[in-house]
């Protein structure tokens, strides 16, 4: 029987001190929805668990009052908070969409945004949406604070850039352009499963040239070792006329950018084909949403 020690810091400073003290021997535990599964299956073996439950600072969720605007989301905010918060729905509706598609009610009630990102499980719903939102994560240690763009945060399967003495404390979301619209879609065996292919699209229609895209961001999950932005597909669509052919071409390019694995849920070829479908649908839905809201008017 492996004996583990549970420490329950009362403040972030105390938690960072413990992280520095124990280094690789310790892991922070947030909602526990992912970490406890790994422990039960003996896939990890930390000697110390640092429980972040009592640290109120990590539960903050607020608009950022500065020139650039945006939101600051504490790492201990639950998936349910992201789904139900009126602030999140107003500032980043695509994040609320993605949160609503995460697992079961129990997982949404207990799982946290910080835990979801640090676990970095293939097919997770939040990363594609946060990538499309240009999110940045704030990592703290006793030595200081560093900010990492989410596109540089994921390293490999279940791996991130978080150092042994760091804790992910906040997720920052820059303010979206005024005429932006976003959609997250996933393809899965059941609604509670991880995505076989997940696509998050943020579109800004050109306010001066009707029928053209000013900016597009495409975040993909479940179709590569880590979630990623389909940069080539974005470039192909940016400034293009909004024809069905252009959307299909962008979806084809996104599919070529994917690097999926084969597993019991789907082959690599099947996942690539689903990228085409999900990206095409997400782009079309985002454009329709924008036009419905009057964002495409010159």
In the chain, the DSSP E strands lie at 5-7, 26-29, 48-51, 61-63, 71-74, 136-141, 144-149, 154-156, 159-160, 167-173, 180-187, 197-205, 213-221, 228-229
**pLDDT of the residue at 95:** 97
Over range 154-163, report the average pLDDT: 96
- For 290, residues 6+ apart whose C-beta sits below 8 A from its C-beta are 179, 180, 181, 203, 204, 205, 296
Q: Please determine, for residue 267, whether its predicted confidence score (pLDDT) is greater than 80.
A: yes
Under the banding of pLDDT at 50, 70 and 90, the label for residue 41 is: confident
Over its C-alpha atoms, the chain yields an Rg (Å, rounded) of 19
pLDDT tens, position by position, 69-115: 689 999 999 999 999 999 999 999 999 999 999 989 999 999 999 99
pLDDT of the residue at 297 = 45
**Better pLDDT: 185 or 45:** 185
Is the per-residue pLDDT at 26 higher than 60?
A: yes
236-254 per-position pLDDT tens digit = 999 888 899 999 999 999 9
**Residue 298 predicted with pLDDT over 90:** no
Q: What is the pLDDT of residue 290?
A: 85
User: Which pLDDT score is estimated for 107?
Assistant: 92
Average predicted confidence (pLDDT) for the chain: 92
Confidence class for position 281, pLDDT limits 50, 70, 90: very high
Average pLDDT over residues 5-14: 96
Average pLDDT on 246-272 reads 96
In the numeric block, which tokens belong to residue 215? Answer: 């900016």
pLDDT for 68 equals 59
Sorting pLDDT into bands at 50, 70 and 90, what band is 211?
A: confident
CB 298 within 8 A of CB 210: yes
Residue 228: band (very low, low, confident or very high) from pLDDT cuts 50, 70, 90: very high
Q: Across residues 159-177, what is the average pLDDT? A: 96
Question: Can you list the domains of the chain with their CATH numbers?
Answer: 54-173 (3.30.465.10), 181-292 (3.30.390.50)
């Amino acid at each position: 029987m492996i004996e583990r020690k549970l420490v329950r810091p009362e403040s972030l400073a105390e938690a960072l001190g413990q992280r520095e003290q124990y280094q690789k021997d310790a892991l922070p535990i947030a909602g526990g929805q992912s970490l406890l599964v790994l422990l039960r299956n003996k896939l990890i073996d930390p000697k110390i668990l640092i429980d972040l439950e009592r640290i109120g600072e990590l539960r903050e969720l607020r608009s950022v009052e500065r020139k650039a605007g945006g939101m600051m989301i504490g790492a201990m905010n639950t998936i349910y908070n992201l789904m139900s918060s009126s602030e999140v729905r107003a500032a980043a509706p695509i994040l609320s969409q993605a949160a609503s598609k995460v697992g079961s009610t129990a997982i949404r009630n207990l799982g946290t945004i910080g835990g979801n990102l640090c676990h970095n499980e293939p097919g997770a719903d939040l990363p594609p949406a946060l990538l499309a939102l240009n999110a940045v994560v704030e990592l703290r240690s006793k030595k200081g604070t560093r900010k990492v763009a989410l596109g540089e945060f994921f390293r490999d399967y279940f791996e991130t850039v978080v150092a042994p003495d760091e804790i992910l404390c906040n997720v920052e979301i820059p303010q979206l352009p005024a005429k932006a619209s976003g959609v997250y879609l996933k393809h899965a065996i059941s609604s509670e499963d991880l995505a076989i292919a997940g696509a998050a699209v943020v579109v800004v229609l050109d306010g001066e040239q009707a029928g053209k895209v000013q900016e597009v961001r495409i975040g993909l999950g479940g179709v590569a070792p880590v979630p990623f932005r389909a940069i080539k597909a974005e470039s192909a669509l940016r400034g293009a006329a909004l024809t069905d052919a252009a959307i299909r071409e962008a979806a084809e390019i996104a599919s070529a950018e994917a690097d999926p694995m084969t597993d019991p849920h789907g082959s690599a070829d099947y996942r690539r084909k689903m990228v085409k479908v999900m990206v095409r649908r997400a782009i079309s839905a985002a454009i329709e949403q924008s036009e419905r809201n009057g964002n495409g008017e010159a």
